[in-house]
Amino acid sequence: MNAIKKEGDELLSIQVVDGPRAILLPPEAFDGQDFSQPLTELEGQWKQLLSSQSSD
């Protein structure tokens, strides 16, 4: 969605469909900015937390 927004398109409605279920997402949550780096950082934090808990 961010890639679409970054191209200049306006997001009016976003719906994620998984089988019979659908989740509506707020279009204002997508600003066109890439968030792969923050996700990678978050993944590293979770891995660190999980590894520190398993060594207790």
Residue 40 has pLDDT above 70, yes or no: yes
Q: For position 54, what pLDDT does the model report?
A: 74
Residue 32 has pLDDT above 80, yes or no: yes
pTM more than 0.85: no
Q: For position 35, what pLDDT does the model report?
A: 86
Distance CA 7, CA 26 (A): 18
Cα→Cα distances 55→11, 18, 42, 47, Å: 45, 36, 20, 12
Residue 25 has pLDDT above 90, yes or no: yes
**Residue whose C-alpha is closest to residue 14's, from 25, 2, 30, 1:** 25
- pLDDT-based confidence at 42, cuts 50/70/90? very high
Q: For position 17, what pLDDT does the model report?
A: 97
Name the helix (H) or strand (E) containing 54. Answer: helix 36-54
